[in-house]
Amino acid sequence: DGAPNATSNSTGVSFDNMRLYTAAKVHENITVEFNTERSIGNDALDTDHRIRVLDAVAKFSFKGFDLWAGRFLPPSDRSNLDGPFYLNNYDFPIVQAYPAIFAGRDNGVAIMKEYAGGKFKWSYGLFEGRTNSTNANTNPDQGDNLLHAARVTYNFWDPEPGYYTTSSYYGAKDVLAVAFVYQREADGAGTSTTAGDFTGWNVDVLMEKKLQNGGVVNLEGAYYDYDLDDKTDLSLTQGEGYLLLGSYLIPKQIGWGKVQPYVRYQHFARAISTTSGNRTRTEGGVNYIIDGQNAKISVLYFSDRNGSNADSKNTFRIGLQFQL
């Protein structure tokens, strides 16, 4: 019952993302990265057909530390650092609700360091945060405070080098990673007349193990807590949520690739929101892995109940993902 008349099924085709990535090493210790995105899932609302800046960042390396400055993903949860294309399923999680100006990004500076090739790593940054609001009357941060963001990760098995993450290595390594994230901005929630502090934190865990038969077991979970000082905010949500995901990559090659069935459960208990009550999504699907995250096809079905008194919306989707 997803059609405009609310009495029949809705069917359609969407082109969700098109991105162009560029990077260049301009000095032995300096790399510049510039990425764009054309989100074209709803052309009817995109009247100017803009190509937006996704990342524009200068990366400096010195004495074992990395310093990034520009627009990029702040230290946050694994799903956000995965981005939409390195998850272990097709859709981005509904329980991920950290503030951002576009696609999880913000303008700022961050410093990071890793040890033992990525066995342990941390990152901390300062970002513009809520001051990116274009309407001064709805911007609670009239004092122009910065958003503080930090993430620490420890890998018990194989290390995971680098700032960005992925949620599946398809057997290339065994991973047992635990991470903690904390974000805070004074007067980062509410409105200009009823401002409150934004505080968000989460714990995420990834376990992936290659079995003797060549199959790969993957278990992932995350817990989120968002606090708005009990202020009503149209762009943020107060509450807590979690996700659980399990998948198994079948070792037998079938045609071009391998089959990976998965299940995922998400629950968001909203304390203050324009939509009252909880949101729950139960999902099952099959990924056809042709070339890791560079080429895969996903077939999935999920039931989404958004609000305590709402009816469930059931969706069947076929998604295709290709990267160069």
Give the helix/strand (H/E) hosting 81: helix 78-82
5-50 pLDDT, tens digit per residue, is: 666 788 888 888 889 999 999 999 999 999 999 866 555 555 556 7
Q: Are 265 and 243 in contact (CB under 8 A)?
A: yes
**Which of these ranges, 50-54, 55-59, 70-74, 115-119, has the smallest mean pLDDT?**
50-54
**What's the rounded Cα separation, in Å, for the pair 116 and 161?**
9
Helix, strand, coil proportions of the chain in percent (round to 5)? 5, 55, 45
- Computed from CA positions of residues 113, 118, 124, 128, in that sequence, does the dihedral angle turn out positive or negative? positive
Q: Are 161 and 108 in contact (CB under 8 A)?
A: no
Question: Exposed (0-12), middle (13-18) or buried (19+): which is 212, by Cβ within 10 Å?
Answer: exposed
**What's the rounded Cα separation, in Å, for the pair 286 and 88?**
10
**For residue 70, what pLDDT is reported?**
97
Percent of the chain with pLDDT over 90: 75
Q: What is the DSSP letter of 167?
A: S
121-169 pLDDT, tens digit per residue, is: 999 999 999 875 545 557 888 888 999 999 999 999 999 999 999 999 9
**What's the rounded Cα separation, in Å, for the pair 33 and 163?**
14
Question: Exposed (0-12), middle (13-18) or buried (19+): which is 319, by Cβ within 10 Å?
Answer: middle
**For residue 31, what pLDDT is reported?**
97
